[in-house]
Chains A and B, each alone.
Chain A
Amino acid sequence: YAGRGRGRGQLSFSIEAVGIGKGENLPPSTVQPTQLFPPLEHKPVPLQTSEEAEYMLALKQEFRGAMKTLPFYIRPAAPKKDVERYSDKYQSTEPSDNTIEWTPENPVIPKESKKPRVNKEEIIRKLETLEKKEEEVSSDEEEGEKKKTEEEEAEGEEEYDEEEFEEETDYIMSYFDNGEEFGADSDDNMDEAIY
């Protein structure tokens, strides 16, 4: 109902304005979704049955049939059977790959083989340089941090050093970033365990 809050039962618009007269019976409200196939009030106009329509129908069906025989119709690989069955000998399997008949005459799609390798090498090189930089920075800071932590806390500190340099566990590395925040946080989080 519209007009909630301004006194119960009052609407924010006058019913007359939208054309519902006083005391008029409104159609019953809908309590369920509409039927899947509701009855049609008006029957649809019958289809055209001209010669043109008939011919186009034939063209359509023939085209569909023809496409299924061409090498462009790609069938997925036959599913692997669980056990070799005796009847397999007598069943003809569908041609799993009839694209062998068709080699695209145009260089249809660009060659892709080189691309990923090039990218991988680049990425690996980049990562290596970044890692080296990280290690340099963090080892510098590490010395500064070490002095601080030795003064403030003794427990678990050596564990931490090893873990930071453990390159397999990336999680740890990123968790502590370059070690810059370690000193800053330790003052605030004295109660928390150090991982």
Chain B
Amino acid sequence: MTAQEVRLCGLLLQEHFGEVVEKMGTELLRSGALNLRALAHQTSTPLDLVKKSLCVLVQHGMCVFGPGRRGPGGPVEYTANCERILYMLRYPRYIYTAKSLYGDTGELVIEEILQRGQMTMSCTVRTVADRLTHSMEDGQSMEYSEVITAFTRLVETHFLQRCPPVDSMGTAGKASSGSSDASAVPQPARPETHPDCYLIPQVHLTGRGKRRRSNEDGEAEEINAKKPRLENEVCGDEGIFWQVNFERFHLHFRHQSIISAVASKLDPTSSEIVRTMLRLSEVTTPANTAHTQALSANEIFRALPVSYNISRPILDQYLTLLVDDPMEFVSKTGDSGGGMYVVNLHRALANLARVTLESVVQERFGSRSARIFRLLLRKRHLEQKQVEDFAMIPAKEAKDMLYTLLSQNLVQLQEIPKTPDFAPSRTFYLYTVNQLPTARLLLHNCYKAVGNLIERRLFETKENRRLLEKSQRIEAILASLQGGGADAAQLSDVEEMITAPERQQLEALRHHINKLDSSENQVDETIFLLESYINSTQSSH
């Protein structure tokens, strides 16, 4: 965990949970595991605030607890999960994906569960139904059963999973010396190990979403609408909480990247074939394997979507094309069943990471520097002179570019001595690029970049706080006037309370903030790609 990651985690925690939770989270990230009192002491925070913060973090899966250093009899220790905190950057992408797969209903289900960390199915269904009803026309409302359907689909495809059960600490005293498993402290296990991980509970849940009653007191209604409905009726799924299965979304993102890479390198039909292959092996391929299980051409042919009406020989031709492509998306591993094929997941990710690195070099240093970079990636080790020749760049400029890349750590210099004394005149100096450490370097830069983006946005907001508050007050006045039936003259009077230059300033501010927010989303795409490549490399070696 680098300093930049900790900084970014802190900023994300602050945005979503406030500065108290941020302080606790950052302290845990920096110190490793801490017990309650140590955390309170180190952050000079009252105990009740520390407890509340920990509750929030644990509720959202960003902190786990377990037996401490002194074993089961000692105080519980809390550990923050840096990776999970960083997922907050990707929340819009998770929500948007749910929308594209399961419509508005799916979108809201995921959004609600992300906002609350974990929810029961009944609670989610009611809240989502209410939200959808609110956006529908008067007189219409959303059936609970429709929401249940979307929820069930999300669970069946593993995008949602049950939270791992945590035993209550209530009656636990000292750990019994007999069994090693009996610890007084509850240990949340990995969710997938639980046999009912994807089991929908039997619920009695019928009804429709309720429309928010229009009231003079608009504000109070607002707060009530945000709270999940705590109905008195018991539904039958108390204590069964659901959380988003991030790894499943990540698998989907990786597959999407590969499919679109095939589409842009080859053609839509090839990408559909790859999509089919990935879909067939989704549930059987574990997370970070180098390639999917082998599929026969017969299987692929049968599983192709009906709209793609290609004949069997044509499919074989496409498969051959995919196998022969230098990107090596697909490989042939056998001849039975009409030919056995696998998708090379790791190689695809490595290629995607490589073009990302090349693109970064090109955009920052120009296309000729990018040419040198690509050359070194392919040829591994080259001397100064060889670089100049292969890249067809004059010596002086090539040197300049190489030194710039060297100073940015994108290129390394390696010494190969001809004689044991490392005498400079008898030593080869070779330039080299190593993809994995370079990817790590760029990933680190990405974390730093997002941190900078957030800080800038907070700065812009702070600088213009007075104006923003004024604007919000005027909006509120306008809204209440309109609700009360004011005439156009009154409304325009209020509107004029903001001067034209102020309006311009607000417009510019909105534009800047949108740009900064959007940039965060787009840097996260690069972060995901590089992280996927690095994880895939690490697990295959």
Chain A residues near B (Cβ < 8 Å): 11-14, 16-19, 41-42, 44-45, 47-48, 52-53, 55-57, 59-61, 63-64, 66-67, 69-70, 72-77, 99, 101, 104-112, 115-116, 119
Chain B binding site: helix, strand, loop or mixed by DSSP? helix
A56 to chain B, nearest CB (A): 4
Which residues on B sit within 8 Å (CB–CB) of A45?
Answer: 363
Which residues on B sit within 8 Å (CB–CB) of A41?
Answer: 365-366
- 13 contacts across the A-B interface (CB closer than 8 A): A41-B366, A48-B522, A56-B96, A59-B95, A67-B16, A67-B17, A69-B223, A72-B17, A106-B59, A110-B185, A112-B36, A112-B76, A115-B75
If A72-B17, A74-B20, A76-B49 touch, whether A13 touches B60 (CB-CB below 8 Å) is: no
Contact across chains for A60 and B223 when beta carbons are under 8 A apart: no
A141 to B396, CA, bound (A): 85
Q: A-B pairs with CB below 8 Å: how many?
A: 152
B250 to chain A, nearest CB (A): 17
| Set B19, B59, B395, B521: member contacting A57, Cβ < 8 A | B521
Which residues on B sit within 8 Å (CB–CB) of A52?
Answer: 96
Which residues on B sit within 8 Å (CB–CB) of A60?
Answer: 91-92, 517, 520-521
A35 to B288, CA, bound (A): 42
Contact across chains for A12 and B169 when beta carbons are under 8 A apart: no
Chain B residues near A (Cβ < 8 Å): 15-21, 36-37, 46, 49, 51-56, 58-60, 65, 74-76, 78, 91-93, 95-96, 111, 114-118, 120, 163, 166, 168-170, 185-186, 222-223, 226-227, 239, 241, 363-366, 384, 395, 399, 423-425, 427, 429, 514-515, 517-522
A7 to B152, CA, bound (A): 80
Contact across chains for A108 and B76 when beta carbons are under 8 A apart: no
A66 to chain B, nearest CB (A): 6
Which residues on A sit within 8 Å (CB–CB) of B399?
Answer: 19
A59 to B239, CA, bound (A): 29
A99 to B115, CA, bound (A): 15
Which residues on B sit within 8 Å (CB–CB) of A13?
Answer: 423-425, 427
| Set A53, A109, A119: member contacting B74, Cβ < 8 A | A119
| Most B Cβ at <10 Å: residue of A76, A105, A108 | A108
A110 to B19, CA, bound (A): 24
Which residues on A sit within 8 Å (CB–CB) of B53?
Answer: 74
Q: Which 4 A-B pairs have the closest CB atoms?
A: A13-B424, A110-B169, A59-B92, A56-B92
Which residues on A sit within 8 Å (CB–CB) of B93?
Answer: 56
Which residues on B sit within 8 Å (CB–CB) of A14?
Answer: 424-425
B471 to chain A, nearest CB (A): 15
Contact across chains for A109 and B65 when beta carbons are under 8 A apart: yes
Which residues on A sit within 8 Å (CB–CB) of B427?
Answer: 13, 17
Contact across chains for A17 and B17 when beta carbons are under 8 A apart: no
A105 to B185, CA, bound (A): 18
Residue of chain A at shortest CB distance from B76 = A110
Contact across chains for A70 and B76 when beta carbons are under 8 A apart: no
Contact across chains for B37 and A116 when beta carbons are under 8 A apart: yes
Contact across chains for B115 and A61 when beta carbons are under 8 A apart: no
A72 to B186, CA, bound (A): 23
A150 to B15, CA, bound (A): 73
Contact across chains for B20 and A75 when beta carbons are under 8 A apart: yes
Contact across chains for A53 and B76 when beta carbons are under 8 A apart: no
Contact across chains for A76 and B118 when beta carbons are under 8 A apart: no
A157 to B26, CA, bound (A): 55
A69 to B186, CA, bound (A): 31
Residue of chain B at shortest CB distance from A49 = B518
Which residues on B sit within 8 Å (CB–CB) of A119?
Answer: 74-75
Which residues on A sit within 8 Å (CB–CB) of B395?
Answer: 19
Contact across chains for A106 and B118 when beta carbons are under 8 A apart: yes
16 more contacts with CB within 8 A, not counting A52-B96, A74-B53, are: A18-B424, A41-B366, A44-B363, A60-B91, A60-B521, A63-B115, A67-B15, A69-B223, A72-B21, A72-B117, A75-B20, A105-B239, A107-B170, A108-B55, A109-B54, A119-B75
Which residues on A sit within 8 Å (CB–CB) of B239?
Answer: 105-106
A68 to chain B, nearest CB (A): 8
